[in-house]
């Protein structure tokens, strides 16, 4: 067991976790934050993406025990009285069908917009498609997801 | 995942002690290979020893014409590093093309080369550049480090602390990505270095990353894609799998070598 204290969506969250507990399990089972989805066993689908210290990571491929002192943001932590611009854009552009991949798409979308803004690079449609390589959607065919992220980038 | 004890030592000494005191320890860095393997029960260590808390392990520094990259530097950090860019922009480009953004935020250079996946990118970059791999025990030339598919010269429990790369006169990398996994179906790194032209091929060899003497000779006499045209790249010793036959990989080696030379 490892004693960890992290900040999840702005609130302190601590607990004794077994070494093998994945961040995705810690979020879903210990904190009951089930917005973070688990869609595969192979670290490939991206449904589980959250932000750790401001960077997109696959929560199914990080040990909770390694995150003492970390700041974690999940999809539940985005809306602040009103929806985050990325959430609004997915709604407006019909960026989801079943919604299973959506939490990961939204967290990856915010991460790429933030990175490109910081680096002063233009987030073109081609760049969005390239950046989404680690997020798989079995419903939408991606077009509306790309549109949503492009739309949100303009208002973030 | 099976039960495992987690350790996060702050020094090499403590890491060595944690590894030595465990029944079967595995070093953990970014976890982007080890954790999926453990989830599938293909690895079941009793303990994991996380090397990311060891001081200096994520530093990147330039001295003279050499950049030294801490073993726990992430792919994203290498891709964005101005130090790496001044010494070898091709290595930064290589790091920027590994996996996807979330994998690059966690995966590390030390983890990638310790794993020596036959389709991984860094082995081609480090072999192509004639890099030096620094461990807690010794320095190992890249030529001696990558010894076969998923195998390296590392002893049990030996910890990579850094990788040093000297400035090449020029270098380039091109990979043909497996469209599903984004690993290299074939990746070729070409470099003109103080010790001659070096060409390293990943994704293709049955024994993992390898240097190609024919391409090295051709590019030494004439650094151009036309020079590559005249090289006979055979399919002996190349992998055949559901993604590509050995013949197709042989063809891709030439195409990637041309693109890499053109990108340098
Ligand atoms: C979806 C996905 C796509 C990917 N695509 C690519 C790709 O396109 N190209 C590519 O090259 N790779 C790819 N990878 C692999 C990725 O680059 C990994 O980060 C890398 O192979 C392992 O690095 P890590 O830091 O995560 O190591 P870990 O998973 O933590 O460890 C891997 C191995 O290295 C050992 N190890 C780690 N650090 C050290 C050290 N300092 N000293 C000694 N031994 C050590 C561990 O014990 C373990 O055996 C991909 C991975 C995923 C999940
Ligand atoms: S659940 Fe994490 S990548 Fe699929
Ligand atoms: S909306 Fe169903 S998986 Fe993406």
Which residues in chain B have their CB less than 8 angstroms from residue A52's CB? Answer: 105
**Residues A71, A98 within the same domain:** no
Q: What is the pLDDT of residue B125?
A: 98
> What average pLDDT does the segment B210-234 reach?
95
**Residues A61, A111 within the same domain:** no
Whole-number mean pLDDT of chain B? 97
Tell if the CB–CB gap between A62 and B31 is shorter than 8 Å: yes
| Nearest CA among B4, B61, B46, B54 for reference residue B29 | B54
Q: What is the pLDDT of residue A16?
A: 94
> What average pLDDT does the segment B90-110 reach?
98
Q: Domain limits at A110?
A: 85-155
> What average pLDDT does the segment B140-149 reach?
97
User: What's the CA gap between B230 and B233, in Å, rounded?
Assistant: 9
Rg (CA), chain A: 15
A139: domain CATH number is: 1.10.150.120
User: What's the CA gap between B128 and B118, in Å, rounded?
Assistant: 15
**Residues A47, A93 within the same domain:** no
- Residue whose CA lies nearest to ligand 3 atom number 4: A137
Supply the ipTM of this predicted assembly. 0.97
In a 3-state reduction of DSSP, which class is residue B189? Answer: strand
Final residue of a structural domain among A56, A77, A98: A77
Final residue of a structural domain among A77, A93, A118: A77
Q: What is the pLDDT of residue B110?
A: 98
| Nearest CA among B12, B5, B157, B128 for reference residue B70 | B12
A60: domain CATH number is: 3.10.20.30
Could you tell me if the CB of A46 is within 6 A of ligand 2? Answer: yes
Count of all residues that appear for chain A in the document: 156
Q: Per-residue confidence at B240, pLDDT binned at 50, 70, 90?
A: very high
**Residues A6, A57 within the same domain:** yes
Which residues in chain A have their CB less than 8 angstroms from residue B4's CB? Answer: 18-20
With a cut of 50, which residues of chain A have pLDDT below it?
none
Give the number of other CB atoms < 10 A from CB of residue B170.
Answer: 17
Percent of chain B with pLDDT over 90: 97
**Residues A7, A48 within the same domain:** yes
Q: What is the pLDDT of residue B179?
A: 82
**Residues A35, A69 within the same domain:** yes
Taking only the tens place, the pLDDT of each residue in B70-95 is 999 999 999 999 999 999 999 999 99
The total of structural domains in chain A comes to: 2
**Residues A151, A89 within the same domain:** yes
Query: Relative to the CA of B178, which ligand 1 atom is closest?
Result: 8
pTM above 0.90, yes or no: yes
**Residues A106, A56 within the same domain:** no
B82 at interface of A, judged by CB pairs closer than 8 A: no
**Residues A41, A23 within the same domain:** yes
Q: Six-digit token pair at B29?
A: 């860095």
Three state DSSP letters for chain A: CEEEEEEECCEEEEEEECCCCEHHHHHHHHCCCCCCCCCCCCCCCCCCEEEECCEEEEHHHCEHHHHCCCEEECHHHCCECECCHHHHHHHHCCCCCCCCCHHHHHHHHHHHHHHHHHHCCCCCHHHHHHHHHHCCCCCCCCHHHHHHHHHHHHHC
Ligand 1 mean position to B247 CA, how many Å?
A: 28
Ligand 3 mean position to A135 CA, how many Å?
A: 10
Q: Per-residue confidence at B126, pLDDT binned at 50, 70, 90?
A: very high
- Residue whose CA lies nearest to ligand 2 atom number 3: A43
Q: Give the C-alpha distances (Å, rounded to integers) separating B156 from A92, B15, B50, B144, B209.
A: 55, 13, 16, 16, 21
**Residues A96, A150 within the same domain:** yes
CB B71 within 8 A of CB B162: yes
Domains plus CATH for chain B?
5-50 (3.30.43.10), 60-166 (3.30.465.10), 170-263 (3.30.390.50)
Could you tell me if the CB of A60 is within 6 A of ligand 2? Answer: yes
Q: Which residues line ligand 3 (CB under 6 A)?
A: A 96-101, 137-140
Q: What is the pLDDT of residue B181?
A: 83
**Residues A68, A96 within the same domain:** no
User: Could you identify the residue written with the tokens 């993604």?
Assistant: B243
**Within chain B, where are the H helices?**
12-20, 34-39, 75-80, 82-87, 89-96, 101-106, 109-115, 122-129, 142-145, 213-221, 225-229, 246-263
**Residues A42, A8 within the same domain:** yes
User: What's the CA gap between B145 and B150, in Å, rounded?
Assistant: 11
- How do B66-70 and A71-73 pair as beta strands? unpaired
Taking only the tens place, the pLDDT of each residue in B147-182 is 999 999 999 999 999 999 999 999 999 999 998 888
Q: What is the pLDDT of residue B86?
A: 97
Final residue of a structural domain among A26, A59, A77: A77
User: What's the CA gap between B156 and B152, in Å, rounded?
Assistant: 11
B188 Cα distance to chain centroid: 12
CB A94 within 8 A of CB A145: no
User: What's the CA gap between A61 and B192, in Å, rounded?
Assistant: 38
Q: Give the C-alpha distances (Å, rounded to integers) separating B122 from B93, B99, B105, B195.
A: 11, 12, 16, 20
Task: Give residues with Cβ within 8 angstroms of A99, minimum separation 6.
Answer: none
């Amino acid at each position: 067991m490892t004693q960890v204290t992290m900040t999840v969506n702005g609130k302190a969250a601590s607990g004794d976790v077994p070494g093998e507990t994945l961040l995705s399990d810690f979020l879903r089972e210990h904190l009951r934050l089930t917005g973070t989805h688990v869609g595969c066993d192979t670290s490939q689908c991206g449904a589980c993406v959250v932000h750790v210290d401001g960077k997109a990571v696959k929560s199914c491929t990080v040990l909770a025990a390694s995150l003492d002192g970390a700041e974690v943001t999940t999809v539940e932590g985005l809306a602040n009285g009103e929806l985050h611009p990325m959430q609004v854009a997915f709604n407006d552009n019909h960026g989801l069908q079943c919604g299973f991949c959506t939490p990961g798409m939204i967290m990856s979308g915010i991460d790429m917009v933030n990175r490109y803004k910081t680096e002063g690079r233009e987030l073109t449609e081609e760049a969005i498609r390239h950046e989404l390589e680690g997020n798989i959607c079995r419903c939408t065919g991606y077009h509306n997801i790309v549109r949503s992220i492009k739309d949100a980038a303009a208002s973030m | 995942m099976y039960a495992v004890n987690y350790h996060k030592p702050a020094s090499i000494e403590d890491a060595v002690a944690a590894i030595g005191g465990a029944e079967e320890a595995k070093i953990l860095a970014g976890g982007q290979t080890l954790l999926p393997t453990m989830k599938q029960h293909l690895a079941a260590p009793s303990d994991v020893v996380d090397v990311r808390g060891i001081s200096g392990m994520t530093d990147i520094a330039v001295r003279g014409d050499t950049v030294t990259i801490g073993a726990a530097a992430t792919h994203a950090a290498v891709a964005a590093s101005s130090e790496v860019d001044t010494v070898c922009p091709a290595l930064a480009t290589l790091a920027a093309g590994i996996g996807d953004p979330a994998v690059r935020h966690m995966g590390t250079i030390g983890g990638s080369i310790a794993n020596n996946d036959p389709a991984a990118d860094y082995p081609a970059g480090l072999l192509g550049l004639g890099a030096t791999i620094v461990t807690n025990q010794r320095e190992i030339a890249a030529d001696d480090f990558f010894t076969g598919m998923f195998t390296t010269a590392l002893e049990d429990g030996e910890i990579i602390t850094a990788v040093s790369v000297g400035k090449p006169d020029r270098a380039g990398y091109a990979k043909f990505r497996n469209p599903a996994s984004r690993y290299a179906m074939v990746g070729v790194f070409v470099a003109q270095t103080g010790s001659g032209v070096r060409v390293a091929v990943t994704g293709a060899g049955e024994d993992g990353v390898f240097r190609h003497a024919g391409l090295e000779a051709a590019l030494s006499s004439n650094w151009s894609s036309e020079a590559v045209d005249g090289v006979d790249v055979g399919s002996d010793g190349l992998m055949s799998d559901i993604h590509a036959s050995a013949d197709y990989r042989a063809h891709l080696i030439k195409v990637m070598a041309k693109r890499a030379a053109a990108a340098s």
